Structure 1
């Protein structure tokens, strides 16, 4: 008997035309490291009395479908997650193409995502997926991945795939070695690590339905937060925090072949940190920053992806 193995797992996604309705075609094979995407339906214990000490049968509660997908930051497939986070990009060029994703969209596209374990076989289609949060970390070494948190409408399980033969993308993965950070256009030094979290703060529409599913997930006020851990070598960031002035931070990755990903946060505000001397080693400071809408650009952030994909 075949047993499920993560090494043989597959994932394909496509954007929906109608929320909660998987498209008949147009799926793309996606690289991923792990996923917790799934549906669950808890049981409610019976509260009724008068039938002895043994409980009556439990009652099914509402269905919850959500989870995380850990994906690589790469030059092509990551554009699908950026579109899910920010909406459709503005694309220019004739190849390579420049895709500019902007924060602040009132509506977000929904996706259908199928995870497959062909040896069982089990194919789970998650429809009505909306991206709630996208996070990643910059550091000196290690594998560069991002975590996409999704809220889905429901799960449909079958023994055959509903995604057909998904289109394949060329994997051109960014690494921490390809990363750089600038502040107001100048390189920001002495940075140990950076955490970046963009959240759409979805509002689930939990109406009464016979199938127990949600009616949708609408974005509310977005949030862009994170932390910067630096070796304390100068007072540039501390002075900014004390003065309360914003700065522009740009996190960029560039491959030798020309593909690039640039995440620009137009107005970053820093809190005044506690500077501790914990021992004889170097002194480090952590700034838990947050971003806001920049009046000049009219948005909070811009994600720019340059690659050989013509459209998303």
Structure 2
């Protein structure tokens, strides 16, 4: 008897032309580390009386389809998640291509994502997937991954794949040792770790339907937040926090072959932190930063991805 194994699982992704309608072709093989994307429909206990102590049959509630996908931050496939988070990029140049994703867009694309377990076989197609949050951490060592939180419209399960022939982009993975952080264009030292979270603040359109699915997921006010933990060596960040002035923070990765990924938060505000002396070791301070719209550029953030992919 065949048993499902994560090692044999596969994921395919394609952007939809019409929300909730999977395309017939154009799916790309996506690298991923884990996925909780799924559909569930809870049962409601019967509240009726007069039939004895044993309850009556439960009633089905609305369908909820969502979950997280943990993906590697790489030079090619990560562009699909950036497009899902920010919208269609502005692409310039010839190989290598420069893809610029901006945070000021009003429209987000929806995706169809298929997860497959070929040994069962079970192929689940999740349609109407919209990205809610995209987050990752920067640190000195370990595997570099990002978590994409998705809201989907529904799930369709089949015994054969509906994704067709998959496009394989190859994997050029960034590592933590490729990372760098700058403040107003200058290297920012003494950083122990950093967290970055971009949120679209999706609003589920929960209308009345016979199938129990949602009608859509509309983006609301975006948010770009995070945390930096620093070794306390100077007063630069503390002074900025006290004065209430913004700065520009850039989080970048660059491969020796030239591919790069840079997220720039154009106007970052820092809270005044508590400086604690916990023992004889070095003193560290934590800043839970927030980004806002830059009045000059008219947007909050820009993500620049340089690779050999012609378009997303």
Q: TM-score range by the shorter chain?
A: over 0.9
Rounded to whole Å, the distance in 1 between the matches of 2:294 and 2:170 is 35
SS at match of 1:74: coil
Rounded to whole Å, the distance in 1 between the matches of 2:296 and 2:138 is 27
Indicate the residue corresponding to 1:6 in structure 2: 6
Rounded to whole Å, the distance in 2 between the matches of 1:94 and 1:174 is 22
Indicate the residue corresponding to 1:33 in structure 2: 33
SS at match of 2:241: helix
SS at match of 1:289: strand
TM-score by length of 1: 1.00
Indicate the residue corresponding to 1:157 in structure 2: 157
Rounded to whole Å, the distance in 1 between the matches of 2:19 and 2:301 is 26
**Structure 2: gaps spanning 5 or more residues:** none
Is 1:258 paired with 2:292?
Answer: no
Rounded to whole Å, the distance in 2 between the matches of 1:211 and 1:234 is 59
Rounded to whole Å, the distance in 2 between the matches of 1:254 and 1:34 is 25
How far apart are residue 166 of structure 1 and its match? 0.8
Is 1:281 paired with 2:281?
Answer: yes
Matched residues, number:
312
* C-alpha distance after superposition, 1:57-84 (max 9, x if no partner): 0000000000000000000000000000
* C-alpha distance after superposition, 1:212-239 (max 9, x if no partner): 0000000000011000000000000000
After TM superposition, list the pairs within 5 Å mapping 1:39-58 onto structure 2: 39-58=39-58
Rounded to whole Å, the distance in 2 between the matches of 1:43 and 1:128 is 24
How far apart are residue 107 of structure 1 and its match? 1.0
SS at match of 2:79: helix
Is 1:70 paired with 2:89?
Answer: no
Indicate the residue corresponding to 1:210 in structure 2: 210
SS at match of 2:125: strand
How far apart are residue 104 of structure 1 and its match? 1.6
**Structure 1: gaps spanning 5 or more residues:** none
Indicate the residue corresponding to 2:21 in structure 1: 21
How far apart are residue 102 of structure 1 and its match? 0.1
